[in-house]
């Protein structure tokens, strides 16, 4: 069934859930039949113009429901729930408790607070915002009020950024801001640069804007300045995208010296830098952001998704100069009108009353604890990670490929993401990203890691599943 093209607007669920919902709906209506082969994940992502990761999660969710089954080298097939009981479901409503500890590790989210006092404090802030609810239901000017921008400036100053208020904008998340910025800097067919292994959202944005995304070679300190300079000479790029702190997915942080070398190349060739500083607040003493080293050259995006919570859908954007302000405002207003006033007010409240700092301390401590759990369970040297990152990057050995490992995990309800989703150019390495945060607790995470460690003890043939 290679022509299946679901309409995600038919489901009000998050997009990955909508994919599973639509498989179920189309099975009931006869659009899909038992035995139909679904499109490959990469092809589906292109059809729907969404992230590869989102499609992967949707197929995992459909498999958990018993709607599909995956076979290495053959693809994903509709089962229609026929093997639901055989795959560990004792009824439509009750999963087998033996599978309760198996989890989706495909989304790179911070650990969610579980401390009762902290949650109570978060609720107090929400109640305070709700006490002045009616004005927050009105349209607001784009970019945040003066008070919200002052709070953003105070927050960003902790990273060494000191922009004027007119250059600061409160936006509805990093992704829309990236889309607007790249739309301003490059036209269809023009080239932008990134790490050769980079955030999948950047690949989606380049595809949507019809830009040529070219990946730069890297070492353990980030992109190579010489490779950047050579690409500038050869490709005349319009911008450079970097995720320089706890980079997703490799978890590396570009040290200050290398940052200075990158800035020197960008300045020589007049290439704007777009700094996606999603994880910048996680390290206690990280290097200065590129926006502080070269404020006149850098679009700095300080998202709150990884340091407070993804559900806020907020990011603080600092424009490099006043000339860039009005085109950016126009692009953002056209696409998004404004950030939600209620979430902006909540973020401002939490930052001002110290709740954001408490959340950040929890995230740091819990991320470190989970990384220690990984170190205790997985074979030494089998993965790459920072001691406080939310994920690990696992190069595969011993006969495992990204396909066989991902499929084996998925067959047991564990979602990981293959390196295809992150690779911009060249051969795709045999590796996967494994995330440690989100709503799962330590016990469930430990169960998934134990399962992986057991699988990695031998070649794939030793872990083959038979149905």
Rounded to 10 degrees, the C-alpha dihedral 97/100/101/107 comes to 170
**CATH for 43:** 1.10.10.10
Joined together, the tokens standing for residue 144 give 């945040």
The mean per-residue pLDDT over the stretch 80-105 comes to 46
259 and 305 assigned to the same domain: yes
Range of the domain at 385: 355-460
In whole angstroms, what is the distance from residue 283 CA to residue 312 CA?
Answer: 21
Domain contains 109: no
In whole angstroms, what is the distance from residue 271 CA to residue 253 CA?
Answer: 21
Q: For 405-448, write each residue's pLDDT tens digit.
A: 998 888 778 889 999 999 999 999 999 999 999 998 898 899 89
pTM listed for this prediction: 0.79
Domain contains 72: yes
pLDDT value at residue 81:
58
Helix (H) or strand (E) holding 110: none
In whole angstroms, what is the distance from residue 377 CA to residue 454 CA?
Answer: 10
163 and 272 assigned to the same domain: yes
pLDDT value at residue 393:
98
Q: For 44-80, write each residue's pLDDT tens digit.
A: 888 888 887 788 888 888 887 888 887 656 788 888 7
102: pLDDT strictly greater than 80: no
**Entry field: residues in the chain:** 467
Domain end (from 327, 353, 379): 353
Domain contains 96: no
The mean per-residue pLDDT over the stretch 19-39 comes to 85
Helix (H) or strand (E) holding 467: none
272 and 162 assigned to the same domain: yes
Domain contains 107: no
202 and 349 assigned to the same domain: yes
* DSSP code of residue 273: E
In whole angstroms, what is the distance from residue 283 CA to residue 387 CA?
Answer: 10
């Amino acid at each position: 069934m290679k022509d299946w093209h679901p309409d995600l607007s038919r489901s009000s669920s998050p997009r990955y859930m909508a994919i599973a919902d639509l498989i179920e709906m189309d099975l009931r209506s006869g659009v899909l039949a038992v035995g139909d082969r679904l499109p490959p994940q990469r092809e589906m992502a292109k059809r729907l113009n969404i992230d590869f990761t989102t499609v992967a999660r949707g197929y995992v969710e459909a498999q958990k429901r018993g709607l599909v089954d995956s076979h290495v080298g053959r693809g994903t097939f509709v089962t229609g729930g026929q093997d639901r009981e055989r795959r560990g479901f004792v009824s439509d409503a009750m999963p087998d408790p033996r599978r309760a500890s198996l989890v989706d590790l495909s989304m790179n989210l911070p650990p969610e607070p579980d401390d009762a006092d902290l949650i109570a404090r978060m609720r107090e802030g929400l109640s305070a915002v709700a006490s002045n609810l009616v004005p927050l239901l009105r349209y607001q000017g784009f970019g945040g009020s003066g008070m919200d921008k002052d709070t953003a400036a105070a927050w960003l100053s902790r990273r060494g950024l000191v922009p004027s208020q007119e250059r600061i904008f409160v936006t509805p998340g990093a992704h829309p801001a990236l889309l607007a910025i790249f739309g301003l800097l490059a036209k269809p067919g023009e080239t932008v640069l990134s790490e050769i292994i980079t955030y999948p959202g950047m690949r989606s944005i380049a595809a949507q804007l019809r830009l040529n995304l070219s990946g730069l070679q890297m070492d353990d300190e980030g992109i190579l300045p010489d490779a950047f300079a050579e690409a500038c000479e050869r490709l005349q790029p319009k911008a450079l995208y970097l995720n320089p702190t706890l980079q997703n997915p490799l978890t590396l942080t570009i040290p200050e010296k290398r940052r200075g070398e990158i800035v020197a190349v960008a300045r020589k060739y007049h290439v704007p830098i777009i700094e996606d500083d999603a994880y910048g607040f996680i390290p206690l003493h990280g290097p200065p952001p590129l926006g502080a080293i070269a404020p006149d050259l850098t679009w700095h995006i300080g998202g709150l998704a990884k340091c407070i919570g993804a559900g806020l859908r907020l990011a603080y954007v600092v424009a490099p100069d006043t000339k860039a302000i009005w085109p950016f405002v126009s692009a953002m207003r056209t696409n998004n009108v404004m950030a939600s006033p209620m979430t902006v007010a909540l973020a401002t409240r939490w930052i001002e009353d110290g709740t954001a700092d408490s959340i950040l301390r929890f995230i740091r401590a819990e991320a470190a604890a989970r990384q220690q759990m990984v170190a205790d369970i997985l074979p030494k040297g089998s993965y790459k990670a920072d001691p406080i990152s939310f994920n690990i990057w696992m190069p595969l050995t011993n006969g495992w490929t990204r396909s066989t490992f991902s499929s084996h995990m998925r067959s047991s309800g564990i979602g990981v993401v293959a390196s295809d989703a992150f690779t911009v150019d060249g051969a795709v390495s045999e590796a996967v990203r494994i995330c440690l945060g989100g709503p799962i607790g330590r016990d469930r995470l430990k169960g998934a890691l134990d399962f992986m460690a057991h699988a990695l003890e031998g070649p794939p043939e030793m872990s083959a599943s038979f149905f």
